[in-house]
Amino acid sequence: MAVMRARRSTLAVPGSNPRMLDKARGLATDALFLDLEDAVSPLVKDQARHNVIAAALEGGYGDRVLSVRVNAMDSKWFRDDITRVINEAGSVIDCIMVPKMQTAAQLVQVDQLIAELEAANGLEIGALGLEIQIEDALGLVNVETIAAASDRLESLIFGPADFMASINMKSLVVGEQPSGYTEGDAFHYVLMRLLVAGRAFGKQVIDGPYLGIRDLDGLRRAAQRSASLGFDGKWVLHPDQVDIVNEIFSPSQADYDHAELILDAYDFHTSASGGARGAVMLGDEMIDEASRKMALVISSKGRAAGLQRTSTFNSEN
């Protein structure tokens, strides 16, 4: 089963830019990926591969989730990317990220290739996690079978730039609503479909980049939309985006405290000493097993975000 790691913010780091590979060490995102794909010009793919492997081996990225995004499976770089990255840096990275995933059969193929490379390098089979991007119409049509196809799959990531191009959406501002679409959210269907597929098969679901790096209000609105639906996090491209995204994808202190209280109250009241009851009162609120499940989601996000409780449960209340 895939590991649930904190991924409120995922920093995209172009592999061809040594300065950014270095600067990424000091940014407070939960996760980051060193990119060999679209942030790297075709002319410098080899150099980027070299830089990314060297940066991963040098380390300094802390205990954040460290991934490498390889080129798409139908590109001429894919095989060399994945082989060289796992052979040379497989023991120091957490995940491989594969863009433009379109079918479950492709995902199974990547999964098997990773397993072969793990075995060849003396790594435990399943040690490396997998993250994939859904970023075109075919990928979205198949997202449910893709989500179910691999145990090592940890997250489904929406790729708005490629997706907007794939469906001919009439906008060039990535992550923003197309002009002329005045009712609702043009991305609602896509986001919801990804989220449901991810939740059905226990995967994290991550929103992609907001390219207007100077428009922090726009970023806030876009992040708030996917966070409210239940997404686990969002990509960031610039240091100014980090704190906003971390904050929006963390539970509030009040929600975190409340969730911990529900868990304690429910544990106490359902235990033999607490009366072995099923539905119980917490203050004016009736809580039951479903409330416990909802509280568990918020409490694990809060713990992952490093929140501390500011109130404690008292069985006398």
User: Which residues contact ligand GLV (rule: CB under 6 A)?
Assistant: 38, 99, 133, 135, 159-162, 208-209
Task: Provide, rounded to whole angstroms, the least separation between the CB of residue 105 and ligand GLV.
Answer: 22
Structure token pair of residue 214:
């100077």
67 makes contact, choosing from Mg ion, ligand GLV, none, with CB < 5 to 8 Å by partner type, with none
209 makes contact, choosing from Mg ion, ligand GLV, none, with CB < 5 to 8 Å by partner type, with ligand GLV
Task: Provide, rounded to whole angstroms, the least separation between the CB of residue 162 and Mg ion.
Answer: 4
Task: Provide, rounded to whole angstroms, the least separation between the CB of residue 34 and ligand GLV.
Answer: 14
Q: Per CB under 5 A, does 162 bind Mg ion?
A: yes
Whether 11 contacts 32, CB under 8 Å: yes
How far is 279 from 287, CA to CA, in rounded Å?
6
176 makes contact, choosing from ligand GLV, Mg ion, none, with CB < 5 to 8 Å by partner type, with none
Q: Is 190 or 298 the residue whose CB approaches ligand GLV more closely?
A: 190
Q: Per CB under 5 A, does 30 bind Mg ion?
A: no
Whether 70 contacts 77, CB under 8 Å: yes
How far is 90 from 119, CA to CA, in rounded Å?
11
Provide φ and ψ at 289, rounded to 5°.
-60, -35
208 makes contact, choosing from Mg ion, ligand GLV, none, with CB < 5 to 8 Å by partner type, with ligand GLV
Task: Provide, rounded to whole angstroms, the least separation between the CB of residue 210 and ligand GLV.
Answer: 10
Task: Provide, rounded to whole angstroms, the least separation between the CB of residue 143 and ligand GLV.
Answer: 15
Q: Is 172 or 279 the residue whose CB approaches ligand GLV more closely?
A: 172
Task: Provide, rounded to whole angstroms, the least separation between the CB of residue 44 and ligand GLV.
Answer: 18
Q: Using only C-alpha atoms, what is the Rg of the chain?
A: 21
Residues of this chain, 128-147, that bind Mg ion according to CB under 5 A: 135
- DSSP E strand boundaries for the chain: 9-14, 31-35, 65-69, 95-98, 129-134, 153-158, 204-207, 233-236, 280-282, 285-287
Structure token pair of residue 265:
């109250």
3-class secondary-structure state, position 89: helix
Residue with tokens 């997998």: 130
3-class secondary-structure state, position 238: coil
Which residues make beta-bridge pairs with 153? 130
Q: Is 235 or 249 the residue whose CB approaches Mg ion more closely?
A: 235
Q: Which of 14, 15, 129, 159 binds Mg ion (CB under 5 A)?
A: 159
Instruction: Write out the residues near Mg ion by the rule CB under 5 A.
Output: 135, 159, 162
